[in-house]
Chains A and B, each alone.
Chain A
Amino acid sequence: MKVSIQGIGLLAAGLEGWRAGRAVLAGTEPFTSVAVPDPEAALLPPNERRRSSDCVRWAVHVAQEAIAQSGLDPREVPTVFASSGGEMGVLDTLCRTLAMPERVISPTLFHQSVHNTAAGYWGIATTCQESSTALSCYDDSFAAGLLEAVTFVCVEQRPVLLVAYDLAVPAPLSEARPITTGFAVALVLAPPSDCSLGGMHLRLEEAHQDGPTGLVDPVLERVRQDNPAARALPLLCAIAAGRSQSIRLSLLDGQQLVLGLDPCRN
């Protein structure tokens, strides 16, 4: 399956936006992990933004960056949102409240607890009425989201926006799922074209004894292992460096996604 990459959005500590993060990922600037300010997510209407969860703002922020780069009308682009645990912060608040005798939860908190909250807010912000799928595959959620998005592009022959995100999990839920730093990435994928950030072909293979592709930089490698959405880093590094590279992403036991990257020609 072949696609082109038409836009990238990125947000993580030390990687604030694709434009700024690109030099770091290409290895031309050092990686320094600084706390990320609350993302602007300017596309959200003020009243929706006020009520939104951290996940929503992170996801919408990177989606907006990627779509802007692609030049596409977001109303015409179907979406795939991938996250291991979704709204873990909301679930923490919800379960704390449900553990109290009165069990009075707010209606807003409840509708924000679904796995497709970020997808729903993106739809509201853009008034997009195209298909939107939210999914999870635990540690392999980015690979599963990529597979769903690429399959969609190839079968329907139209662009798709993929957004992968997982945020730091609050205590005590972090005892069950220790993710310590947030990471969000968005890719606009489309049928092959010359005018793009690069081409990518993807195939599903039996697991290889070498295991998934890691990163040379030990600090970035720790980020990759800490956060399921950061499993996108080897792909992002290769695009940033303009490298032709084959990247293996693990996908459940026994399988892996092999991505072949052709650097952009522009």
Chain B
Amino acid sequence: MLPNVQTITPLTLTASTLVTANGRGLGPVLQALRERRSGLKPCDFEDVPLKTYIGRVEGLEDFSLGNELERFDCRNNRLAWLGLQQDGFMVAVAEAKQRYGAHRVAVVMGTSTSGILETEHAYQARDFAGSLPAWYTSRYRYTHNMFSLGHFVRACLGLRGPATVVSTACSSSAKVFATADRLLRAGLCDAAIVGGVDSLCLTTLYGFTALQLLSTSPCRPCDEDRDGLSLGEAAGFALLESSTCVSRWGAVALLGYGESTDGYHMSHPHPEGAGAIRAIRNALGRAGLQPRDIDYVNLHGTATRVNDAVEDKVVSGIFGRTTPCSSTKGWTGHTLGAAGITEALISVLCLKHGFLPGTLNCERIDPTLHSRILCDNDVRPVRRILSNIFGFGGNNCSLILGTLR
């Protein structure tokens, strides 16, 4: 089946930044990947007694947003703020703003739960009449509302272009690349800040417990004995510009993307991965590439029994048994709505530094899997990477990132 999509002009990632449980900034994340050091630790989030491991970003409890950003103060926006401060990202955005004008730079963010932790706290603090505290109600718009993250990032960066928050569960911050490409191609902006932030909260910790999908140990993607996922939190951002404007030999760019849905179930993947296949095929089509052109697949690889099995069926069906694949969830945990940008930026590190991360915590590869699962890191030149993200509601997105020649 040939995909019904046209090739796109690559979008250069002029700047990027990432904060995960592995550290603040791309440097510490790269170091953790190379040293095979996981950010997962036994759950110590608030008063949550669950027997699970989490990828908590250190220090979010120790500061608050002040001055004109005070109304935005919540765990999710603190994490966003921390992300924006790393890797010289603010300077790169300021330059883009100067180049194009503040109204020509779009903001497209992804999150699944936004600042819901504020609402959880507010419900615990209801008064005798059942009313919510004033500190919460006056700031709902700036903290929990789904657009809060977009509003916050736009305010922090002083941008005045179109802005939106995509919230399609785990695929949120992968799909932001697609929305940004459409805005750029329609001429509604000259550059776009894409990214995503999701932070730990009771909803997801107890929600995934209810679904019986949390592992009691650090998650083990693709392992024979894998028994569920570990939750994490992350913030990642990238500045996208058309490669025709900023084409630079050796720069990393988005080459293609594919979006699809399963049309099957809210929380179980389609048994044959029909939607996932469509997302990957469309990404290849937009990049004008064949499966053999892909050097490495960064799997969604959540470490649930079902996800890894279905994803393997899809990936081995398209890429065969020789293309190296791995999941990096063992480092970061599943960062949900931030997983798309987290894994896109890990892919950027692989492209820039010429290495492939072997699946952390995978000791014995599940013998029923047919893809070539990497367990150890591999040092080699990498030119094109496909990154998969699949989410609740059967919402899928695949991205292809590569080095421009």
Contact = CB atoms under 8 A, between A and B. Distances in A.
A34 B180 CA distance: 41
Nearest to A48: B266
A156 B286 CA distance: 11
Interface stretch (A15-23, A113-121, A213-221): A113-121
A99 B124 contact: yes
A122 B137 CA distance: 32
Nearest to B146: A136
A94 to B, nearest CB: 6
Main secondary structure of the interface of A (DSSP, over half): mixed
Contacts of A204: 162, 188
B347 interface: no
Interface stretch (B80-88, B126-134, B359-367): B126-134
B265 A124 contact: yes
B202 to A, nearest CB: 5
Contacts, number: 210
What range describes how many residues of A lie at the interface? 35 or more
Nearest to A172: B132
B211 interface: yes
Most chain B beta-carbon contacts within 10 A, residue among A1, A105, A114: A114
Interface string B279-295: 00000000000000000
Contacts of A222: none
B145 A84 contact: yes
B369 interface: no
Contacts of A196: none
B233 interface: no
Interface stretch (A24-32, A61-69, A145-153, A240-248): A145-153
Interface in A79-123: 83-86, 91, 94-96, 98-99, 103-107, 109-117, 119-121, 123
A59 to B, nearest CB: 12
Contacts of A136: 145-147, 164-165, 167
Interface of A: 1, 75, 78, 83-86, 91, 94-96, 98-99, 103-107, 109-117, 119-121, 123-124, 126-138, 141, 144, 147-148, 151-152, 154-156, 171-173, 175-177, 204, 206, 251-255
22 contacts: A78-B259, A95-B122, A99-B123, A99-B126, A103-B202, A104-B210, A107-B210, A107-B212, A107-B267, A111-B267, A113-B203, A115-B112, A117-B393, A119-B168, A131-B261, A132-B395, A148-B164, A155-B186, A172-B126, A176-B119, A177-B140, A254-B103
